[in-house]
Chain A
Amino acid sequence: MQLNSLAFRLVAGAALWSMAILIAGGVLLSSLFRDAVETAFDDRLLALLESLLAATEVDPETGIELTRPLGDPRFEQTYSGFYWQIDGPAASLRSRSLFDQALVLPRRESGISAFTSSDPGPNGETLRIVTRDIARPGFERRFNYTVAANIQAVEAQITRFNGTLVWSLGVLVIGLLAAMLVQIRFGLQPLRRLRGDLVDIRHGKADRLVGRYPAEIAPLAAELNALIAHSAAVVERARTQAGNLAHALKTPLSVMANETTAAQGPLADAVARQVTAMRKQIDHHLARAQAAASANVLGARTPAAEVIEDLRRTLERIHAARNITIETVRPGDAAFRGDRQDLEEMVGNLADNACKWARTKVRIIVSRRHDQIEILVEDDGPGLAEDQRVQMLQRGARLDESVPGSGLGLAIVQDIAALYGGDLALGAAPSGGLQARLRLPLAPPIAN
């Protein structure tokens, strides 16, 4: 359990107050028990005192006399731990168990009292003493009757009780904490589920939180959904605005470009060059802005097969004059973890390029590689030598050096792929034509 966690806070809090309550309870129980046991012991001693009183007679002539034995043999055994003693004005009488010793009584108020003696008894034991001053007929001064007994049995009882008490309270604390932990795990489980669902969204398995959440978390989930929708809307708006800007600029550029082709002279040439540069800048930055805006959208997932089918239909129509067939190989259900329009731009540019160079056929092959989706676009055209292929990609990357009408499409593909952490490579197709290999993040399959 981490120190900085809700679970730790709850468990630590619970441990603290339950410990406090249990310790206070334990102390209270222990002292109540001691009181009860001591009172019971005192009652027994008091009863013995009463018996002693009844069994003695006092006479001014003869002094104190035990008229019958007390019945408890322990008073007869030397140092047995049970003692009695009578002190009178004229004489004293002691139990046999005291042998030659006497009980030491502290100074005290007259009357009846019960206490635990601070002086050790005849045998070194701790004694519980009950003593009473009694007036007897014929004597001016009172007699003092005392019964004492070894308290060790009582202490042992109390110690045993305290042991049991500590042990059972300890078990109670552990049980409470365990129950607390289980409760926290159960209680916080929806939060863990929420986190799992968010991870799914980030990995493209879902585009919003759909699970049922408890009342405390449901508003949070709703807010997160709203946030996801908002970010998608912002991206869409940015894309629309970028598109509008491009649209607004491209028509005037068309007009200028056409005027320069009609006119002659250095001014026309300069304007023509600048118009071309502007067109490229617009295409480049528009594609980048749109892709950059969408590369971070959560929950984006695009099935490759659908995009490729759309493009196949469109490209066969556009290149109908040259009778190009586009063959799609194993599209399956592999999906790209990203925006649909970006995948369309990348595959569209590559496939369009392939159609321009192909003699009869273009092949688009989709496959999965670990966590990537791989799309191969092959044509059966003349192909490129290796150094030309390297040059193509470099030229695409440096916009300013690119020759009109070439490279830009590839540059856009490279840019978008890089934004998604993918890449574009050129190679030779088995048919001898050019093979473009696009690798992009694969969206995990949708969990049912």
Chain B
Amino acid sequence: MRVLLVEDEPDLRRQLAETVAAAGYAVDQTGDGEEGHFLGDTEPYDAVILDLGLPGMDGLSVLERWRKDGRAMPVLVLTARDRWRDKVAGIDAGADDYLAKPFVMEELLARLRALIRRSTGHASNDLEYAGLRIDTRAASVTVDGNPIKLTALEYRLLAYLMHHQGRILSRTELIEHLYDQDFDRDSNTIEVFVGRLRKKLGRDLIQTERGLGYRLAAPGDAT
């Protein structure tokens, strides 16, 4: 899961980036509206945390332009302006949720999880597949009730697969959603992580679709 963070206050941006990264997300961050708009327009994010008072281009304009160009990723608007007039304007501009400053990080993470869950069509924080279960709140994984230890990147890959159960996911898509933009991308690393996950979780869990990518088969398709 890859998240774009657009916030102009450096301290708050650092805190947000650390918290969101610690929760298992790849994070791209910027303090500039123009750059934020460009990133959201060109990179495939699973969610965006968007401050409204930004230099360059204000948050509402950024959001409106994304929506006009058909960018549909869930956007959590972050602002000190918490009058209902502002909230209505934010939602009407295309925001999916609205969080007023000051806020507690747990609240932000809960909202972020809910947005991603909703956009991928899941109703619960717990995702399950053939005895495998991940709790997106705690970023914990169990197989048949036994806890499994995963590294941050392994968890991120597994969470993305779990959110998109039944879909074939290409290596490129996986790379785009697992790493932030500064990461040195090498599609072979995906194979390495898939190998590690298979070792920890069982060989048959992740299927290789030759020439296309990987998938978790939907529960009915499991072989």
Contacts and interface: CB of A to CB of B under 8 A. Distances in A.
A321 B91 CA distance: 15
Contacts of B117: 321
A348 interface: yes
Contacts of B102: 250-251, 253-254, 256-257, 275, 279
B154 interface: no
Interface stretch (B33-41, B78-86, B201-209): B78-86
B81 A317 contact: no
B76 to A, nearest CB: 11
A257 B84 CA distance: 23
A321 B11 CA distance: 30
A164 interface: no
Contacts of B53: 247
Interface in B73-117: 79-85, 87-88, 91-92, 95-98, 100-105, 114, 117
B9 interface: yes
Interface residues of B, number: 30
Contacts of B91: 313-314, 317-318
A341 B12 contact: no
Contacts of B9: 251-252, 255
A423 interface: no
A251 B12 contact: yes
B98 A311 contact: no
Contacts of B11: 255
Contacts of A251: 9, 12, 80, 101-102
Nearest to B7: A251
A257 B85 contact: no
B15 interface: yes
B51 to A, nearest CB: 9
B137 interface: no
B80 A246 contact: yes
Nearest to B114: A321
A175 interface: no
A344 interface: yes
Interface in A225-284: 243, 246-259, 261-262, 275, 279, 283
Interface in B5-21: 9, 11-12, 15, 19
B118 interface: yes
A16 interface: no
B123 to A, nearest CB: 9
A254 B101 contact: yes
Contact of A313 (B83, B88, B101): B88
Given A246-B80, A341-B85, A318 B118 contact: no
B88 A311 contact: yes
B45 to A, nearest CB: 19
A314 B118 contact: no
Interface in B96-153: 96-98, 100-105, 114, 117-118
B118 A321 contact: yes
A318 B90 CA distance: 11
A53 to B, nearest CB: 115
Best-surrounded residue of A254, A262, A275 (most CB of chain B within 10 A): A254
A250 B96 CA distance: 22
A252 B102 CA distance: 8
Contacts of A249: 80
Which are the 4 A-B pairs with shortest beta-carbon distances?
A: A348-B84, A250-B80, A254-B102, A344-B84
12 contacts: A247-B79, A247-B80, A248-B80, A250-B80, A251-B80, A258-B15, A259-B15, A262-B15, A283-B82, A310-B84, A313-B88, A314-B87
Interface of A: 243, 246-259, 261-262, 275, 279, 283, 290, 310-311, 313-314, 317-318, 320-321, 340-341, 344-345, 348-349
Given A246-B80, A258-B105, 8 more contacts: A247-B53, A247-B80, A254-B103, A255-B12, A255-B15, A261-B105, A313-B91, A317-B96
